[in-house]
Structure 1
Amino acid sequence: MDKSEVVCNCMNVTVQDLEDAVKNGAKSFEEVQEATQVSTGCGGCEEHAREIVNQLLGK
């Protein structure tokens, strides 16, 4: 997984940002979303972002 990949163009959120949110205690997509603002713009990245977050959470 490319940690520099931009997952959310609207909020410029990368895979690394999602990983950091999980490392800092986020335990759900909603908590990662709150920490990073991923998928709070147009929402077009939500499915992809959820897949990545689920992988990071081990789901």
Structure 2
Amino acid sequence: MDAGKLVCGCKKVTYGDLQEAVAKGAKSFEEVQSATKVSTGCKKCTDHVKSMVSELLPR
């Protein structure tokens, strides 16, 4: 996915922001959320973002 793609319109979080949070050590959706504020507005993106974050996290 393109790093510039907006994944959370309320907080203006991009896919690249999610990647950066994981690269800097976030180990869960909650830690990515804390670092980026993703899905803390209307929360409509939560399920989709959780799926993206789970794919980015090391297994």
Under a length normalisation based on structure 2, what TM-score does the superposition of the two structures give? 0.95
Give distance in 2, aligned partners of 1:7 and 1:58: 20
Provide the residue aligned with 2:13 in structure 1. 13
- The two structures, once aligned, show a CA RMSD in angstroms of 0.9
Give distance in 1, aligned partners of 2:48 and 2:40: 13
Unaligned runs of 5+ in 2: none
Cα deviation 1:30-51 (Å, max 9, x = unaligned): 0000000000000000011101
**Aligned residue type for 1:39:** S
Number of residue-to-residue matches in the alignment = 59
Under a length normalisation based on structure 1, what TM-score does the superposition of the two structures give? 0.95
CA deviation after TM superposition for structure 1 residue 58, in Å: 3.9
Give distance in 1, aligned partners of 2:10 and 2:32: 16
Q: After TM superposition, where is structure 1 displaced by more than 2 Å over at least 4 residues in a row?
A: none
Provide the residue aligned with 1:37 in structure 2. 37
